[in-house]
Structures are given as C-alpha cells and as structure tokens.
Amino acid sequence: MEIFGISVPALAGQLLIGLFNGAFYALLSLGLAVIFGMLRIINFAHGAFYMLGAFSAYMLSAYLGASFWLSLLIVPLVLAALAAVLERSMLQRLAGLDPLYGLLLTFGFALILEGGMQYVFGVAGQPYSPPASLSGASNLGFMFMPHYRAFVIVVSLFVCFGTWLLIERTKIGSILRAATENPSLSEVFGLNVPVLITATYAFGAALAGIAGIMAAPVFQVSPHMGSNLIIVVFAVVVIGGMGSIMGAIISGFALGLVEGLTKVFYSEASNVVVFVIMAIVLYFRPAGLFGKDA
Amino acid sequence: MIEENCLALSDIHGWYGESKALHGIEINVKRGQTVALMGRNGAGKTTTLRAITRQLTRTEGSIKKDGQEISTVPRHKLAYQGIGFVPEDRGTYNTLSVQENLKLLPKVGDSGMSLDELHSFFPNIQERRHAPAGTLSGGEQQMLAMARVLLAGPDLILLDEPTEGLAPVFVQKIAELLQDLKKRGLTILLVEQNMIFTRKLADHFYMIENGLVVADFPAEELSENEELISRVLGV
Amino acid sequence: MSNTTTHIPGPTQSLPSARALKLVAFAVLAVALLIAPAVLYPVFLMKILCFALFASALNLLLGYTGLLSFGHATFFGGGAYFTAYCVKALEVGPLTGILIGVAGAAVLGLAIGVIAIRRQGIYFAMTTLALSQLAYFCFLRAPFTNAEDGIQNVPRGTLFGVIDLTDHVTMYFFVLTVFAIGMFAIWRIVTSPFGEVVKAIRENEQRAISLGYNVNRYKLSVFTVSAALAGLAGSTKALVFQIATLTDVSWQMSGEAILMALLGGLGTLTGPSVGATVIVTMQNYLAATSVPVNVVIGVVFVISVLLFRKGIVGVFQRFSKAP
C-alpha cells in the first residue's frame, strides 16, 4: 500500500511521531497560555521547568528508586512548589511593570536552572527507562504502535482537555477568568487575586513538569533539552495566538502532525517548518489563528 | 456604646498617579441610611468610592466600617467587611456567563436577597443565565451587577451611577429595588446625577466640589437647599 | 520598557558645568582607550569593543524604540559568517568583508523586521526569537558555514593593501575606529529628528500614529539600522577572533546582548558599553575558575531586572542629577 509514493506504515509511523511530539507541544504551549492569561508574561523558564521535570524523575529514580508512576505524581508537585516560590519571592515584584521585564526575569531563571543542572550533571544525557508495563508495541495491521508513545499521547490529551474543562466549565475556572478580565475589581469583590496568580504560575509549571517526566524515557535527560524545544513552542504559541486555551492545545497537536508529515515528504525542512508557518501566519493574520487581539 | 456610623470617612486624600483628586473628604453614613453624593462630573464622587475600594494610586486618611479601620486591610478582604460594590461601568465580566457572574462573589453576609427573590425581581436575568454577560443590554448588565452583589450579602452597598444611560423602565426598576433594600435595613452609599431619582431615595445628601465636601444636609432640609444644589450641580 | 528608561538631556539642555564635565569625561575615556592596549591584552579589549557595539546596536532598538528583539544574534552572527566567508573563500579585503557583512545583516534585518513588526510587545520578542531560530537552522544547513565547525582560520588581511592587521595592537586601533564610527552613527541617529520620532513612538505609539507618523516604517527603519550595526559588530568580531560559529547566531548570544544593555542602562548612550565591559570582564575572569558562567549570568540578569532596572549608567545619571 502506498500514498503519494510513501508506504502506509512509514506514513502512519511518522504521523504517530508527529502526534507524539505534538503531545509535548500542546502541554507546554497550554502551560504558557495559562500563565500568560493570568500573569500577562511569557514564561521563558518554561523549557527549564520541563527539563527539571525530566531531571526530577531521573533523580527520584536514581537516588530513591521511585517508580515512574510515583514520579508522575510527585514531579508536577515539585515543579509547582518551585514555581510558587519563584513567583512569590521575585516575579510578584514586577506586577504593574512592562511585561517584557517578566520575560527577562524568567530568562534569568532559565539560565540559572540550566547552568546549575549542567554544573552538577554535565551536558551528557542521563538514562531513564520507561516502566516495564508500557514497553513493547502492538501490531495494528498497518503499523506498529509503541505502547509508551500511545500512553504519552493519551495522557497529554487527557491533561489538556481536563485543564480546558477546569478553566471553562468550573467555578474555580470562572474565578480565574474573572481575575484575568479585571484583576483589581475582582479583588474588591473578595477574590484573592495574588494567591490565584501564584497558583496559576504553579499550575503552568506543573504542566511543564508532566511533559518533562514523560519526555525522560524517550529523549535524553540533559540540561539543555528544554531550551531548544521551548523556542519551537514559542512559535506554536505565536501561531495559535495567546487568547485561547483550546487554541494552544489544537495548535500544539496540529503543528506536531505537520512536522511529522514534513519529515516524510521533505525531511530537511522538518526542523524549520514550524518557524516558516509562523512567519506565514504572522504575515497574513498577525493575531494568530485563534487570537483575538491584534 | 454602639457605633452608629456604618461607614465613616475622615480626611480622605486621594491621588490618580501624580494628580490629586480628593482633598480631605469627610463623610458619615449611618446604619440603615441611604446617602447620596452629589456634584458635577469630575468633582470627586466616583473617586471617593474608588478610595473606599482602594483603587487609587494613593489614598490617605481614615476609613472606618462599623468603627473599625479598614484602610489597611488587604484589598481582597474588604468585601468580607460587608462591603458590596457596583462600579460605574457595572463591572460585569463579559467573558463569563450571566450565571457565572452571579455565583462569582464569595458570600460575605446574609443581609442580602435569596436567589429566588432575585429571580422574581429580575426575570430577564433568569432567562439569559447561559448567555455571556457581554451580550446583555446596559440595563440588564446593571441588573446583573446589582443582583450579583446582593447575593453576596453585604450590609453596605456602594453604588456608582446606577441609572446612567438606562431606559426609564430600568430606572424605575432600580428605584423599586433600592426602596426594597432600604426596607430591609441595608446601608447604601449612592453616587447619582439623576436628581429626580435621588430625591425619592436618599436620607442624607453630601455636596462635593473639587474633591471636598462643601455641604451636607438631611432629606428634610432638601427644599431649603435648592439654591445650593443648583449651584453645585450647575443646573 | 518605556516607563523606566531615562531620558538623556541633549547637549543643549545641559548646564555649562555639566557639559564641561561631560567633555572632560569624554577626553579621559578617549585617552584611556588609546593607551589601553599598552596595559591590557588587546584581544580582550577588542572583545569588549565588539560586544559594546553589539549591545549598543540592540539598545538603539530596545532602549530608544522600546522594541525587545530576542533575535539580534542572527545579525551579529550573520555579519560574522558573511565577512568570514568573503574574506576567507573569496579573498576580499577586510574592509570589503566588513561592508558585505553589514549589508548582509541589514538585509536579514529587513526580512525579519517586516514580519516581526506586525506584532507588538511580548509577541514581538517571541517572534524575533522564533525567526532567529529559523535563521540558526539555515546557518546550520547552509553550504558555506561548515555546520558545527564554523568558518575557522579567517585571515585578518591587510587594510588598504598596506596596513597588516595580523598584529594585535594594529588590529585594536582598527577595531577602535570601527567602534567609534558605530557609536557616532548611533549618537547621530538618537539626536536627529528621526530619533525624536522614534522616542515618541516608544513613549506613546498611539499618539505617534495619530500625529500622522508612519510608525511601522519608522520601526522597520530602526530595526534594519540596528541589525546592520549588530552586523558591523559581528563582522569585526569575526576578524578579531578569525572565526565565525553557530554560537554567534544562537539565542543565548541574543540574551547576552540584552543583559549587557539592561545592566549598563537601557536608553542611555554609554550604558550598553559599560554593561558589555562588566559582562565580558566577568566572563573572562570566570572562565579561569570552576564557577558556572551561565549561572552567574542568570543571577546578574535576575538582579538587574528586580533591583536595577535603570542600569549602572541610569543610576549614576540619577545621582548626578539630584540636587
């Protein structure tokens, strides 16, 4: 069987890889969008949080023998705690200033976290094996489906849509949206906006932590694993527009797929296809595909 | 001694950025009273409400609720002192549905209305509960803003220009509601330009000019002060 | 960044004594730069000058126009690549090489600028970052850049066919001249009517639009000029170190330039050079120790943003202005 001269298993395999990468793009761009919605800053440290998620899983396993499943619970909490401390101690002081300062401050966080991990662990990748229950693959007839990849895609979808439901369909979500729309009035109404802001930053970091631990068994656990990824995610965010939660999720998965397809048809361009799409989208629709503001 | 004043502002100075807008406001609102702040545009009426709700760049002076100083409590705890606020622009959240708006505010007291009472008072709001608040008409948004605050149950309500730009039918509706709230014993601090509306409601009047209280008198002395009112309001 | 940058009084606004003080300071600085290679290692000084020019070019955009470009390494490193390639493979002279580098950087700046200025604020920053990452991959794949190895052993050449630049001290004076020309250009721009419009855009873009200025054209012009000057710094750097690599076009390099400008003082003429001096000196010193340089840079970044937003020169100006 062939489509456009490409065998179906090869095509399906690349699409799966695309969806798999898209699962990470979606989790990370969702975290950026959630944080941006409330704090109005771009969290440059997001890639470093992702990296720390992977390293936390590695350290929990190497030093404490924690299983993947236990780490999957602990790591997001660790990241949330770290982010809450950073927000309370430093980021909060920039309230009311140009949001570019928030970008620069979190850039500083990223340098410290990455430089620190490199100092301790060196640049080489650390090994982390997937749980035994998720090893192996199933033959779907037209392709092989590695279990771990399928697991990551499902978890990502689950977390992304869970977050969407939380924000769009619950009481706590409506409080968050209210505080986003008019923070000072919301405070007068009795909503504790400073705590909401801290919680939002912590939640966004936890999402990055989930992405990080899920990346650990597949990609190299290394200090710089987040920094190049996060720039692609920035492009994803610019393409989707920061206005909507759903926009971040959809653009994440869609661009992962596009990247996967590019690998099949013109592999040289797969590294840059997201950036090229960003340039084209910006030219014709500066607000992004799902953005409301210009 | 039981504190008679529900709200007492003394020597309030307030700033927007570098420019000073309030120059020593003194206002006392007795419990159960409806007090109206009157003055021209820019005199400092809305600014006074913003000073109470701490939305100015800087505020000095003493603000007491039931005898307790509240100018130093964190802003998000003001509501728990029993203060409800309906701002000039209504402050309804456009991206939230009507129902989400209604249920947003934490319960701060029980002096307000029940949901059933509100629904019978504002049937439109019940009908449009799933619509985004941004799609409501100005009058409906005002109803929503009032209903939302009442559900939270404060004993003091700060109302900024509730009838501004509304059709007569809505003005009538709001007048009825405020009469009802007065009967229930709620304290109301009202900023209003509509003199006909205010005459029927207020127990006490404060005239504000250039960020200062220039006169105050009870409703009984209204007729003696007509000249002053015309001068201050410039009508 | 508009609300925190300090406005520098032009020469005409200064008090006579302040003006005299400035002239004296300028003279002392000039003499110091002239005798510096006798005291300090010339290559170290040249590195400072190149980065000072790079940071000043970025500051023209960030400090004076209020646009945060997170992709200026593309122009710095692009200039370096073009110059290195032309000098080494095409065997052109150093001056021609630098001019080609500058022109190349300007073209890149125009191309990236056209897209990036369609968004504002934080989106502008992300867009420039993403586009410069696109450029990074292009440089990685381009046939003339030798991928990870970069262009090495770039000859410094002979200036006007007579002055051999191989000698470090000779090269230093060449770099100093380039630096002076670049800084003079920036000074002329920010004090010109064009510069006044640009600062007006920084203060209030909407008002500049309503006054009838074609804001986007101004932004694009500044972006391109800033890119060209960053290219000038990169081209010169390629000749000094005789190498052009991917490090020069990486986003970390863009971040460093921002830090230098921020640390020294955004929107001040001398600030970025002061910031560059501090950072390059620190890097040189730390390179000999086991202290992780990036962590220290990150800490300086955090401190600058939290406590020191006016920068070294900004703080100094405020003190000197206090009664």
What is the reported pLDDT for B1?
Answer: 45
Place C10 in a pLDDT band, splitting at 50, 70 and 90. Answer: very low
Q: Report the DSSP beta bridge partners of residue A263.
A: none
By the 8 A CB rule, do C263 and C308 touch?
yes
What is the reported pLDDT for C96?
Answer: 92
Look up the domain containing C218 and give its range.
Answer: 40-250
Mutate which of A100, A234, A270 to test chain C, going by most C C-beta atoms within 10 A? A100
Reading the block at residue A246, the tokens are 């759903």
Neighbours, chain C (3 or more CB pairs < 8 A): A
Residue C137 domain flag: yes
Residue C47 domain flag: yes
What is the reported pLDDT for A4?
Answer: 67
- C28 to chain A, minimum CA–CA distance in Å? 34
Best mean pLDDT range from A258-262, B130-134, C98-102: C98-102
Q: Report the DSSP beta bridge partners of residue B36.
A: B190, B205
Q: Is B78 on the interface with A (CB under 8 A)?
A: yes
What is the reported pLDDT for A134?
Answer: 86
Place C6 in a pLDDT band, splitting at 50, 70 and 90. Answer: very low
Place C320 in a pLDDT band, splitting at 50, 70 and 90. Answer: low
When the pLDDT of each residue in chain C is averaged and rounded to a whole number, the result is 87
- A243 to chain B, minimum CA–CA distance in Å? 12
Average pLDDT over residues C294-314: 90
Residue C310 domain flag: no
3-state helix/strand/coil string of chain B: CCCCEEEEEEEEEEEECCEEEEEEEEEEEECCCEEEEECCCCCCHHHHHHHHCCCCCEEEEEEEECCEECCCCCHHHCHHHCEEEECCCCCCCCCCEHHHHHHHCCCCCCCCCCHHHHHHHCHHHHHCCCCEHHHCCHHHHHHHHHHHHHHHCCCEEEEECCCCCCCHHHHHHHHHHHHHHHHCCCEEEEECCCHHHHHHHCCEEEEEECCEEEEEEEHHHCHHHHHHHHHHHCC
With 90 as the cut, is the pLDDT of residue A206 above it? yes
Residue C278 domain flag: no
Cβ pair A110:C298 closer than 8 A: yes
Residue C131 domain flag: yes
When the pLDDT of each residue in chain A is averaged and rounded to a whole number, the result is 89
Q: Looking at chain A, which residue has its C-alpha nearest residue C120?
A: A294
Mean pLDDT check: name the lowest of A66-70, B146-150, B185-189, C319-323: C319-323
With 50 as the cut, is the pLDDT of residue C8 above it? no
What is the reported pLDDT for B112?
Answer: 65
Share of chain C above pLDDT 70, in %: 93
Reading the block at residue B1, the tokens are 């001694």
Q: What is the pLDDT of residues C58-73, one digit of tens each?
A: 999 999 998 999 999 9
Chain pair A-C, CB pairs under 8 angstroms: 124
Q: Looking at chain B, which residue has its C-alpha nearest residue A195?
A: B76
Place C3 in a pLDDT band, splitting at 50, 70 and 90. Answer: very low
Collect all residues of chain A within an 8 Å Cβ-Cβ radius of residue B78.
188, 190
Query: What's the structural domain count of chain C?
Result: 1
Residue C25 domain flag: no
Q: Report the DSSP beta bridge partners of residue A221.
A: A126
Report DSSP state, residue A129. Answer: P
What is the reported pLDDT for A140?
Answer: 78
Cβ pair C118:A283 closer than 8 A: yes
Q: Is B212 on the interface with A (CB under 8 A)?
A: no
When the pLDDT of each residue in chain B is averaged and rounded to a whole number, the result is 89
Residue in B76, B78, B104 closest to A178 by CB: B104
Residue C240 domain flag: yes
Q: What is the pLDDT of residues A111-155, one digit of tens each?
A: 999 999 999 998 888 888 888 888 888 887 777 888 899 999 999
Q: Among residues A55, A216, A50, A24, which one has the least CA distance to residue A128? A: A216
Average pLDDT over residues A200-225: 94
Residue C261 domain flag: no
What is the reported pLDDT for C15?
Answer: 57
Share of chain A above pLDDT 70, in %: 97
Average pLDDT over residues A190-216: 95
Task: Please indicate whether chains A and B are in contact, defined as at least 3 beta carbon pairs under 8 Å.
Answer: yes
CA torsion sign, C91 to C92 to C94 to C98?
negative
Residue in A99, A108, A268 closest to C301 by CB: A108
Cβ pair A100:C68 closer than 8 A: yes
Place C229 in a pLDDT band, splitting at 50, 70 and 90. Answer: very high
With 70 as the cut, is the pLDDT of residue A294 above it? no
The count of residues in chain C is: 323
Place A32 in a pLDDT band, splitting at 50, 70 and 90. Answer: very high
What is the reported pLDDT for A285?
Answer: 82
What is the reported pLDDT for A1?
Answer: 59
Entry pTM: 0.89
What ipTM was estimated for this complex? 0.91
- A130 to chain C, minimum CA–CA distance in Å? 31
With 90 as the cut, is the pLDDT of residue A250 above it? yes
Reading the block at residue B102, the tokens are 């209604």
| Strand ordering across the sheet containing B5-16 | B19-30, B5-16, B58-65, B68-69
Average pLDDT over residues B199-213: 92
Which alpha helices (DSSP H) does chain A contain, by range?
Answer: 8-39, 46-64, 68-89, 99-121, 147-169, 171-181, 183-188, 193-215, 225-240, 245-265, 273-284
Task: Please indicate whether chains A and C are in contact, defined as at least 3 beta carbon pairs under 8 Å.
Answer: yes
